Amino acid sequence: MPVITCIEDLKRLHARRVPRMFYDYAESGSYTEQTFRENVSDFSQIRLRQRVAVDMSDRNLSASMLGEAVSMPVALAPVGFTGMQSADGEIKAARAAEAFGVPFTLSTMSICSIEDVAAHTTKPFWFQLYVMRDEEFVDNIIDRAKRAGCSALVLTLDLQILGQRHKDLKNGLSAPPRLTLPNILNMATKPRWCLGMLGTKRHTFGNIVGHAKGVGDLASLSSWTNEQFDPKLDWTKIARIRDRWGGKLVLKGVLDAEDARRAADFGADAIVVSNHGGRQLDGALSSIRILPSIVRAVKGQTGIWIDSGIRTGQDVLKALALGADAAMIGRSYIYGLGAMGEAGVTRALDIIRKELDVTLALCGERDVKNLGAHNLLVPRGFE
Q: SS3 of 105, please? A: strand
Among 20, 242, 248, 252, binds ligand FNR (CB under 6 A): 252
Residue 307 touches ligand FNR, criterion: CB under 6 A: yes
Region near ligand FNR per CB under 6 A, out of 180-188, 269-277, 289-297, 346-354:
269-277
Residue 127 touches ligand FNR, criterion: CB under 6 A: no
Among 128, 302, 312, 375, binds ligand FNR (CB under 6 A): 128
Using CA atoms of 336, 342, 343, 348 in order, give the dihedral in degrees to the nearest 10: 40
Q: How many other CB atoms are there within 10 angstroms of residue 198's CB atom?
A: 9
Name the residue nearer to ligand FNR (CB basis): 107 or 359. 107
Please, what is the end-to-end C-alpha distance for the chain in angstroms?
A: 43
Distance CA 361, CA 36 (A): 30
Among 73, 206, 277, 323, binds ligand FNR (CB under 6 A): 277
Q: Identify residues 79-98 at the interface with ligand FNR (CB under 6 A).
A: 79-80
Give catalytic status of residue 276 as yes or no.
Answer: yes
Query: What are the φ and ψ backbone dihedral angles of 57, each rounded to 5 degrees?
Result: -80, 170
Q: CA nearest 311: which of 1, 2, 14, 3?
A: 14
What contacts 372, CB < 8 A, 6 or more positions away?
321, 323
Could you tell me the smallest distance in angstroms from the CB atom of residue 163 to ligand FNR? 11
Distance CA 307, CA 159 (A): 15
14, 166, 276, 374: the catalytic one is 276
Residue 113 touches ligand FNR, criterion: CB under 6 A: no
Region near ligand FNR per CB under 6 A, out of 5-13, 112-120, 203-211, 305-313:
305-313
Region near ligand FNR per CB under 6 A, out of 86-94, 139-147, 271-279, 363-371:
271-279
Q: CA nearest 129: which of 237, 286, 279, 282?
A: 237
Task: List residues with catalytic annotation.
Answer: 276
Sites of contact with ligand FNR (CB under 6 A): 25-26, 39, 77-80, 107, 109, 128, 156, 252, 274, 276-277, 279, 307-310, 329-332
